[in-house]
Structure 1
Amino acid sequence: MNGYEKRTQDKKNQVLEATLDLMSNYTGIENLTMDEIAKNAKVGKTSIFKYFGSKENLIHEVFKYFLDKIGKTAREIMSENKPFEETLIAMTQNKIHHLEKTNKQFYLDLMDFVTTKGDDGLSLMMQQYIKESYNILLDLFHRGRKEGKVDLKYSDEFLLTYFQALVEGISSPHVYARILPYTAQWTEVFIKGIAPSK
């Protein structure tokens, strides 16, 4: 990437971060204006249109950027090759951290954008994100089996479904704020639940 491309990408990221910040603290994307985004990003409105084409495309890119950030942090956590329990705690904290930084409306807007707008690109992106998340979790569960922390009687499918059910439960706004201080305990209960019998 040459200097011009790097500056362009930095500006794009600046716009994405500013828009994500507004959307995370806002009451809905339909009320969000390009003027507010430009002001928050400290760039001209024409630059935003040059980079993203339209508000809808920008919103699409913000959702992609948000999911990419979660995925990137998860990959970094996995690459540290820490023991199963430490890795699972860090992964859980990562999810809660990202949930904590956004409001309920952000998730409603994200889901609405995926389903109502019929945006195949975003749907494909969500499928890709889910697939990558599952692959990371499978790697983690396989690590847990090797360490003797995950009972061999539990199939990959069961473990993924079980973990997904737990995460979706704590993703509820009235739950995740209360569970944040108990991340270690929540993870300990989860680990004990899938650990081999003594």
Structure 2
Amino acid sequence: MNGFERRKLKKMQQIEQTVLTLLNSKPFSDISMQEIANLANVSKVTLFNYYENKEKLLNTTILNVFTSLYEKYEELLDSNKSFEETYKGILKIKLGMIQTFTSTFLENSMRLYANEPSFFDNDAQKRLDELTLRLFEKGRKEGKINADYDDTLLLMLLHIFSEGMKSPQLQEKELMQYSEQLLQILMNGLR
């Protein structure tokens, strides 16, 4: 990577960090390109050169958050950690995201997805499912997951669990307090 590309990448990271801060604090409809440019210390022209429009900038920023998350998952899956340690690590990353991002950020993400369903596209979901299946395979090899449970069933269970975690009735403090027990119930059932 030459100097120009490094500077461009650094500027883009600065811009996207600014956008994350703004998405955590107010609705995306209230965020202007001028405000982003001012806070990121770049020109508005630079924003449009890099991102084309506000929606592309917001989508790119959020998708890059997910990409970073997937990379952390892959690191854990590629490590020599046991299935249980790997799963706990992934859960810790997810709970860390809950602590990092406000409800405003999550609402912004959901609005973007509702307005543009391709925002979190099939490829992103497919990649997440592939990572999840790698985790399940690790669990099968270690005898932690019953080999009779096929991938479809396990993905369905995980999707149900994930959707339930998004419930507004769950409080962040409770999720943190009971995360270890929730993991044990998920892995061992109610025995």
**Same fold (TM > 0.5):** yes
Once the two structures are superposed, the pairs formed by residues 107-186 of structure 1 within 5 Å of their partners are 107-117=106-116, 120=118, 122=119, 125-175=120-170, 177=172, 178-186=174-182
Cα pair distance change 1:25/1:128, threshold 3 Å: same
Structure 2 letter corresponding to 1:15: I
Q: Is the 8 A contact 2:76 2:89 kept in 1?
A: yes
Q: Deviations over 1:47-69 (max 9, x none)?
A: 22221122122112112212212
Structure 1 range deviating more: 42-51 or 158-167:
42-51
Q: Is the 8 A contact 1:100 1:176 kept in 2?
A: no
Structure 1 letter corresponding to 2:21: D
Cα pair distance change 1:176/1:82, threshold 3 Å: farther
TM-score (norm. length: structure 2): 0.89
Structure 1 letter corresponding to 2:162: V
**Alignment root-mean-square deviation, CA:** 2.1
Structure 1 range deviating more: 73-82 or 106-115:
106-115
Q: Is the 8 A contact 1:99 1:171 kept in 2?
A: no
Structure 2 letter corresponding to 1:13: Q
Structure 1 letter corresponding to 2:101: T
2:187 to 184, 187, 191: 191
TM-score (norm. length: structure 1): 0.86
| % identical equivalent positions | 27
Distance in 2, Cα, partners of 1:150 & 1:111? 32
SS in 1 for 2:121: helix
Shift of 1:170: 1.2
Q: Does the alignment pair 1:16 with 2:16?
A: yes
Distance in 1, Cα, partners of 2:141 & 2:9? 41
Distance in 1, Cα, partners of 2:40 & 2:152? 43
Cα pair distance change 1:4/1:173, threshold 3 Å: farther
Shift of 1:97: 1.5
Q: In the alignment, what sits opposite 1:105?
A: 104
Q: Which runs of 5+ in 1 are unaligned?
A: none
Distance in 2, Cα, partners of 1:173 & 1:97? 17
Shift of 1:173: 4.5
